Amino acid sequence: MGKPPQCYKVLVVGSKNVGKYSLCQQFVKGWIAEKPGDDGPMKKTVQINNTKVELEVIIHDVEGEEEIGKCDGVLLVYSIIDAASLTFVKTIAFQKLHAALGSRSSADSGNDKTEDGETTKLRQADEGSSKGVEMPTLHPEQVGLSVPVVLVGTKEDEAKLSRQVELADAETLSQELSCVGFFETAAPCNSNVAKAFECVAEDIVNKRANTVTHETKSGCCVVL
């Protein structure tokens, strides 16, 4: 028997009624159930760079008291036909993720005890986010989360008649949040659904491979 695929957890985050469940169902099952049910963990095995990995997708609206668990990647989801859902993503959702998961710069630097001016700004931003204050503009390395993020717009199939979020605005937000990818999707017709999940998976796999290579060069080989 071959080695089982490495499992990675992907958090699917967005406000209510943006289509998170449909997005995940289409990716995992290839069809969408009419009503959400207790189907257990949603998992799917995909091939990334000649490597099979298992993705477990976990839906979270970050509006309740449920704690954001550890994850390897995030899909930030908004609806193209609901401008408020994009505002939710770039304020409340991203703030809570930033506070729970940390920033890219803090992950890269490790647990340094010294605190320079830039680190102080980041800490203050984290403190502000816990109070519900909109995050200040920071360097992309500080704004970016410690895990890869893909921005996903849903309901592309309804955009022609009801679009409220322009493509350029979402692309700009994707850059501001240091996302590794951005896709407009339509779950019912399976447009760009797999691409969005595979994009975050590819970045996860690449980062893990780079970590192993770096640690091997340092004289310590870690098998993940």
Mean pLDDT by 10 residues, the chain (224 residues): 84 94 94 71 91 94 78 96 95 90 68 41 42 43 80 96 96 94 97 97 88 47 39
Q: Which long-range contacts (CB under 8 A, 24 or more apart) does 27-35 make?
A: 27/57, 27/193, 27/194, 27/197, 28/57, 30/190, 32/187, 32/188
Residue 127 CB-density burial (10 A; 0-12 exposed, 13-18 middle, 19+ buried): exposed
pLDDT value of position 1: 56
Question: In Å, what is the CA distance from 113 to each residue of 101, 106, 120, 139?
Answer: 19, 11, 12, 21
Break the chain into its structural domains and give their ranges: 6-217
pLDDT value of position 140: 45
22 Cβ neighbours under 8 A, 6+ residues apart: 32, 154, 187, 188
Q: How far apart are CA 21 and CA 206, in angstroms?
A: 27
pLDDT value of position 61: 82
CATH topology (fold) of 6-217: Rossmann fold (3.40.50)
pLDDT value of position 102: 87
pLDDT value of position 145: 87
pLDDT value of position 57: 95
